[in-house]
Amino acid sequence: DLTHSISLYESNLADTERILGSDHPDTLVRRNNLATAYQEAGDLKRAIPLLESNLVDTERILGSDHPDTLRRRNNLATAYQEAGELHGLGEVAQDNNPAGTQIPPNV
C-alpha cells in the first residue's frame, strides 16, 4: 500500500543522503520519488515544499536546462495544479517553456 511505500521512500532517502550526500544526483532522484509518493497519497502539504526545495537544488546542481530539472519543474507544476495554486503553476510553467523547447523529442 501507499503508506508502506512512503515509509520505504523515506528510509531510502535518508540512507542515500547519509551515504552519497544531499547534493548527489541520485539523492535528488530519491527526494523527487518521495515527493511524488506524497503527492499520489494526496499529501500536498508535504509534497509541494519537498518538490520546491528539490527543484532549487536540482537547478543549482544540474542547471536550469537539464532534462531532470525540466521534469522536476513539471512535477511541481502538477502539484500546484492539484492544490489549486494557480500563481505558482503559472510561474513554474513559464520557467519551463523556453528550456523545454530545446530538448530533443526523444528525451
Domain boundaries, the chain: 2-97
pLDDT at 88: 65
Q: Return the C-alpha cell found at 42.
A: 494526496
pLDDT at 14: 98
Query: Distance (Å, rounded) from C-alpha 106 to C-alpha 19?
Result: 32
Q: Return the C-alpha cell found at 61.
A: 546542481
Q: Which residues contact 55 (CB under 8 A, 6 or more apart)?
A: 69, 72, 73, 76
pTM for the full predicted model: 0.82
* pLDDT above 80 (res 91): no
- The label of the residue with cell 523545454 reads 100
What Cα–Cα distance (Å) separates residue 83 from each residue in 27, 73, 75? 25, 15, 12
- The label of the residue with cell 502538477 reads 78
pLDDT band at 85 (very low <50, low <70, confident <90, very high): confident
- Output the CA torsion 30→51→70→27 (10° steps): -20
pLDDT band at 94 (very low <50, low <70, confident <90, very high): low
Query: Distance (Å, rounded) from C-alpha 20 to C-alpha 25?
Result: 9
pLDDT (tens digit per residue) in 17-41: 999 999 999 999 999 999 999 999 9
CATH code for the part of the protein at 2-97: 1.25.40.10
What is the residue-averaged pLDDT of the chain? 88
